[in-house]
Amino acid sequence: MVDTHCHLDVSDPATEELLERARSAGIKRLGVVGTDRDSSTEAIALAGRRPEVFAIVGLHPHATTGFGEGEQEWIEALAGGDVIAVGETGLDHYRDNAPRDDQRRAFEFHIGVARALELPLVIHTRAAEEDTFAILREQAEGLTVVLHCFSAPSRLDECVERGYICSFAGNVTYGSAEDLQRAAAEVPEELLLVETDSPYLAPKPVRGKRNEPANVVHTAGFVAELRGSSYEQLEEAVEANAERVFGW
């Protein structure tokens, strides 16, 4: 299995221990995601040391206050290195930790970088689906779009039509997530990924604890049951999709 989205810079215990536990759980590759300059730089450095780690770099919507030339320069510089995707980027109108205009400008800039470098675009959206999907329709045509921690089950038909990759995190296992579970059961196999979003959103068997990459097996097993497939069948499909999307 693979974990296509995790944040090891804010995880506990130490990164090397988490990676060893992931290896023991059968996790072959990990997409380590930066949310600012420091964490993006760390992701690239870790990917350089560990062959199973691959870096995704960008500026999280929460951190986009005052977005300008300085941020643009480091995003372009880091994304032009040895990375597999740009992000996570998008809009968060739930917490509104940054002005919405700044979030939008940063989002649009990331789209441009992904297009220029021909890299996938990893999307964060929360309570902002109308605006997020509108921007994607207008500006991201032809890009590979990964909807990290998929949270738009009412828009599944549009996602399928546009070929957006739907990546499910541990919250799909929660009892209140019936709409999300239906989406995970119905999304075409070629558009399906799983992730942990570590250290957040621990799946049900370990809910209440800090999440880690090894726990992606719980989410994958749950999604396999939803789809009426074996774990091995889902594992094969997810690994093939991740290799196609990220080129790792």
Average pLDDT over residues 183-205: 98
**pLDDT (tens digit per residue) in 150-178:** 999 999 999 999 999 999 999 999 999 99
Residue 13, pLDDT score: 80
Q: In whole angstroms, give the CA distance from residue 186 to residue 192.
A: 10
Residue 170, pLDDT score: 98
Q: In whole angstroms, give the CA distance from residue 169 to residue 117.
A: 27
Alpha helices for the chain (secondary structure H):
15-24, 37-49, 69-79, 100-117, 129-139, 156-162, 178-186, 216-227, 231-246
**pLDDT (tens digit per residue) in 18-75:** 999 999 999 999 999 999 999 999 999 999 999 999 999 999 999 999 999 999 999 9
CATH code at position 120: 3.20.20.140
Q: In whole angstroms, give the CA distance from residue 35 to residue 102.
A: 15
Residue 99, pLDDT score: 98
Residue 66, pLDDT score: 98
Q: How many beta carbons lie within 10 A of that of residue 163, not counting itself? A: 13
Please tell me the least confidently modeled range out of 13-17, 30-34, 103-107, 122-126.
Answer: 13-17
Domain residue limits at 58:
2-246
Structure-derived torsion over alpha carbons of residues 7, 200, 238, 117, reported in degrees to the nearest 10: -40
Give the Å distances, CA to CA, from 115 to 12, 76, 121, 177. Answer: 34, 12, 9, 33
**Contact indicator for 66, 103 with CB cutoff of 8 Å:** no
Tell me how many domains the chain contains: 1
Average pLDDT over residues 194-198: 98
Residue 182, pLDDT score: 98
